[in-house]
Amino acid sequence: MFSPFLAIAPWIRINLPPCHIDVPYSTEEFSSLSLDGAYDFKANKKLGSGASGSVFLATHKMTQNRVAVKRFLCNYNSVKDFRRELASLRVLRGHPNIVNLIDSFGGKRPALVMEVANHGDLESYLEDHGPLTEDAAKYIMLQLLNAIQACHDKNIMHRDIKLGNVLVSAIDGVRLTVQLADFGFSAKSKHRLQRYCGTKGYMAPEIRANKFYDHSIDIWSLGITMHALLTGKVPSNGKLTIDRLSPMLQKYPNKRLTAKQLLGHFWFMDHSTLTQFVKRLIDGINGYYDEICGLCGTYKIHCEVFVEKKP
C-alpha cells in the first residue's frame, strides 16, 4: 500500500533504495530561453573552475533567485562531461544530498543551472576551520553515503568524490548539511569500466593501475574524504592512520563494504548521530508519526523526542 508520507518525503527510508522513480538515462530538450536571456551575470562572480569549465553566481531575472551556473568549454571532452553530468543529475533529481539541477542549456557553450551552495565546499571549509570532530564527520558521512547509495542504486558511478566536490548548503553549529556535486566524470554502467579519471590522491588503486573497476571506487574515494575530514589532509603514499577507514579502504574492491552496508555500520549508526540525521530529514513534516517511528525503530531511536504525535 502506498504511503502518503513517502509521497511527501520519499527519501526518508534511508535503509531502502532511495531513488523512487526510474528516469531513463538520457537527455531532454533544453530550455527554450537563452542562458543570458534568463539569468543575470552582472556580479560576474566565479565560484570555481575545473578542466571542463567554470561555475558562476547568477540571478534568475524573473524570480531574483540566486543560482550557480556551470558553463562548459567548447571542446569535445567538455561537451561529453556536460552530457554525462546532465543525464546523471536528471536521474538523481530531488535527492536532498545531491546538488539539485534547475535548468540546462545547449549550444556552443552548454551550461547547467543548479542551486547555489551558501557555504562553499568542504575543502574550503576545512581550510578555514581545520579538521572536524568525529560527530561532525559522521553527520557528513551519513549524508554522503545516502547520496552514493542513490547513485549506485541507479548504476551510476560518480568517479570523482573528493572534498572539493561536496558542497555545504547549511551550517547548524558543528553539523553541516552537504550535497554531492560535479558529476562530469560520472558514468552509468552495470559493467566494469577502465577509463582513467578522478583526482590524484582520491583514486582507488585499480584506477591508478589502469585496471577495470566497478562502483566500489566511489567507496574508496569516500574513505579518503573521511580521512581528510578527520585529519585535515589527504593521506600520502597510502599511509592511513585511522583504523575505522578499513571497511572503505580495502585494496581489493570485493572486500570493500557497499554504501548500504556502511549505512548500517556501528560507527555511523550510534544513537545521537542518527537521531540528528533523521531529525533533519523530517524537519517540517508533521502528522506521520507511525511511519516515522517505524524507521526510527529499525535503529532503536526514540523519535518521540523530536516528532509530535498526531492527534
CA-closest candidate to residue 182, choices 260, 88, 277: 88
Name the catalytic one among 160, 172, 218, 243.
160
Given the C-alpha cell 554525462, which residue does it identify?
A: 84
Spell out the residues 6+ positions from residue 177 whose beta carbon is closer than 8 angstroms to its own.
Answer: 143, 168, 169, 170, 171, 280
**8 Å CB contact between 158 and 150:** no
Does 115 count as an annotated binding residue? yes
All three cell numbers of 247, joined, read 571497511
**8 Å CB contact between 21 and 304:** no
CA-closest candidate to residue 214, choices 151, 265, 142, 164: 151
Does 182 count as an annotated binding residue? yes
Does 279 count as an annotated binding residue? no
Angle between helices 122-129 and 216-231 (to 10 degrees): 20
All three cell numbers of 102, joined, read 534547475
Does 70 count as an annotated binding residue? yes
Q: What is the rounded distance in angstroms from the CA atom of residue 294 to the CA atom of residue 19?
A: 20
Tell me whether residue 135 is one of the annotated catalytic residues.
no
Which 3 state secondary structure label does DSSP give 15?
coil
Classify burial at 119, counting beta carbons within 10 Å of its beta carbon; exposed 0-12, middle 13-18, buried 19 or more. middle
Q: What is the rounded distance in angstroms from the CA atom of residue 55 to the CA atom of residue 70?
A: 4
Does 117 count as an annotated binding residue? yes
Q: Binding site for ATP: which residues?
A: 70, 115-117, 182
Q: Binding site: which residues?
A: 70, 115-117, 182
Residues noted as catalytic: 160
